[in-house]
Amino acid sequence: MPGRPSLAGRSLLVSRPAGRMGGGGSALRVCADHRGGINWLSLSPDGQRLLTGSEDGTARLWSTADGQCCALLQGHESYVTFCQLEDEVAFTCSADRTIRKWDVRTGQCLHVFRGHTSIVNRILVANNQLFSSSYDRTARAWSVDKGQVSQEFRGHRNCVLTLAYSAPWDLPGAPCAEEVGGLLVTGSTDGTAKVWQVASGCCHQTLRGHTGAVLCLVLDTPSHTAFTGSTDATIRAWDILSGEQLRVFREHQGSVICLELVNRHVYSGSADRTVKCWLADTGERVRTFAAHRHSVSALKYHAGTLFTGSGDARARAFDAQSGALQRVFRGHAFVINCIQVGAPARLLGSASAGRGRPPPAPRDRAPPAERPPTVG
């Protein structure tokens, strides 16, 4: 395990983003029980609980009301890369090659999902299935209830970083939508994204055009469109049914690290220290948010405000329409890996670590013990 970082480097800050004027954002609570940096956090659907996954190999469940740790989830043998919190269960994945399902009331591990042969990068729970991506060059689908692999998706030539799912009912007009069980889209350091038929495991389309690793992707399910961001400094829009490249967004000067799709606008955070807003349907750049001092590593849109996290250890709140900087949140010491916004209480949660985010840069397949390198 990495050496123990400073207190601020392994902290979760909970702040109140209310207010329309610029200035410093005040931290309401600092949750610093982890012994390693926090790589990801996930907010419960009701906004009352927050799950954090850490370098120390554990996950913790917190109350957003008082910042108290409600449960300690122990069992992983290496750092936790990602986590997802549902109503009654939590899911974590790790560099120990496994995924775990937890009872959030008791902290008990319910299932261990084994099968990947290298670091598990991301997980996604949808339609009573668990999807995962790994450094072993595969993505997998699992039964949420039984913890067994139901499908493997093989074809990428390097590690699979990011993934998104489109359910059958989100594919109106698509041929054989029900039969294919929905579509899974994966992005890889091999420079491609792939669209898979979940039921068969067959590759439906390979999306070729990027000249660098695909670090992030978002889906617009009504239009069957995927948006991918890459180390080649571009964003590309694709028709996931036909595989056609629809448009290229070209104004960034560094790797595109994170994406948000809201109200027909694409927001992109980059290693060039900016966020850009684009019209999803045309690729036209609408505005640039340029107050950051380092790579933009996290984005979250909420109620007309765009929240960003950066390698400069600051979170920022911008008016999404005008681009005006409203507030700066200070307190972390290292890169901000993830931001979540709790709508009921209007709380901003940000997680800081040193290593887990941004996504890995392109390289040869990493052996299980090797740490993914970072971008920016």
Q: Are residues 110 and 168 in the same domain?
A: yes
Q: Dihedral of CA 33/328/2/44: which sign?
A: positive
| pLDDT for res 343 | 52
* Percent of the chain surpassing pLDDT 90: 69
Q: Please give the tally of structural domains in the chain.
A: 2
The candidate with the shortest Cα–Cα distance to 51, out of 269, 338, 255, 308, is 338
The 3-state secondary structure of 119-145 reads CEEEEEEECCEEEEEECCCEEEEEECC
Q: How confident is the model at residue 358 (pLDDT cuts 50, 70, 90)?
A: very low
Q: Are residues 50 and 174 in the same domain?
A: yes
What is the rounded CA–CA span in Å between residue 110 and residue 100? 7
Q: Are residues 324 and 307 in the same domain?
A: yes
Section 216-222 average pLDDT: 95
The candidate with the shortest Cα–Cα distance to 131, out of 78, 202, 184, is 184
The candidate with the shortest Cα–Cα distance to 255, out of 348, 340, 362, 150, is 362
What confidence tens digit (pLDDT) does each residue in 294-348 have? 999 999 999 999 999 999 999 999 999 999 999 999 888 889 999 988 754 445 6
| pLDDT for res 242 | 96
Q: Which two tokens stand for residue 302?
A: 């909420």
Q: Dihedral of CA 303/20/272/121: which sign?
A: negative
Average pLDDT over the chain reads 86
> What residue numbers bound the domain in which 178 lies?
37-261
**pTM for this model (two decimals):** 0.88
**Is the distance from CB of 41 to CB of 65 less than 8 angstroms?**
no
Please determine, for residue 15, whether its predicted confidence score (pLDDT) is greater than 90: no
Section 61-84 average pLDDT: 93
Q: Are residues 218 and 290 in the same domain?
A: no
CATH no. for residue 118?
2.130.10.10
| pLDDT for res 2 | 35
Please determine, for residue 269, whether its predicted confidence score (pLDDT) is greater than 60: yes
What confidence tens digit (pLDDT) does each residue in 34-51 have? 888 899 999 998 888 999
User: Is 26 inside a domain boundary?
Assistant: no
User: Is 371 inside a domain boundary?
Assistant: no
What is the rounded CA–CA span in Å between residue 370 and residue 376? 19
Cα 40 to chain centroid distance, Å, stands at: 8
